[in-house]
Structure 1
Amino acid sequence: MTSALQRIQSMPTWLLGRVASRGRSLVADAIAVEGLKLMHHAVLAATAKYGPVAQAELGRRLAVDPKDMVGILNHLQQAGLVLRTPDAADRRKNAVTVTPEGEAVLARCGALAETANAELLAPLTREERDHLMALLTRIHEAPQKPGPSA
């Protein structure tokens, strides 16, 4: 007879959550050598992609609370990875840009994250990794049905 715990632990949501947690931990540990946490890395990457970008826009794009964004950007600016200047279009806002050092750290973090992900997927063959990524991408890109609260 299957226990309730066994049923839960055999559900894709359980397994995906556990694997995601392990993957986040591997990447977090890897980029910690650069003095960054996962959200610092994400904000730095978004700034590099969209910058110069308003601080509030970064928060919206990454779903980060404005108060949290201030702390993250303070850390990145103190480390010399981003620069905040008054936005030319609206002087009441800050425009955030990546510094050359920020670009270098972002490149190193990208390589560290790749290595961590390779460690996560090491039990799989190349074909299995490709198949897994294709399946996860398909699930991620599938249209979302409105939930009961919608």
Structure 2
Amino acid sequence: MKINPAVVTYPSSASASQKAKVDKADAVTYDQAKATTQTQTDAGSIKSSAVTESSGQTPLEAYALPGWLQGFGRDLTNEGKVGTPGTYVDPKNVGFASASPATLSEYSELLQQHLSDVYERSGLTDINARYKAMSIPGLNDRLHQEFNDSISSDARMMSLMDKLGVKMVTLS
């Protein structure tokens, strides 16, 4: 895939060496990760300062979804390739392709709600706190398990996942 550089822009002052580094040895526990990523502003809102670049901007990597969400959406890897018919649907996407828009909407809303709830319960209320948390293996695993537990306890979500052919990724 080619990306038009005129569309994707980066701060001119940013360099690879300026990217935020996460020292995994300094933040082993959940509470330590929260404490190191959150500082109070005068207005009382939480502002993360530990993982922003020296330019004050959040790194693009912070906006990536956690790896453990892989499989909860439609995989477009094999669809739309040159030489395949326009109507081709990868067998693992049949549930998504045949579902009604209302079903897909409900599934998406529930998925987003479960993810938001896990982040909120964990105190990861901003993008920088989540970015730091995803880089800490023990904490990332705990968030993954909390997400799976949340999904598993929701009968409607499990029904929609079954209908769409979505399998939950378990910790290994």
Q: TM-score, normalised by structure 1?
A: 0.26
User: Which one has a larger percent strand, Structure 1 or Structure 2?
Assistant: 1
User: Which one has a larger percent helix, Structure 1 or Structure 2?
Assistant: 1
Greater relative CO, 1 or 2 (CA 8 Å, sep 6+) = 2
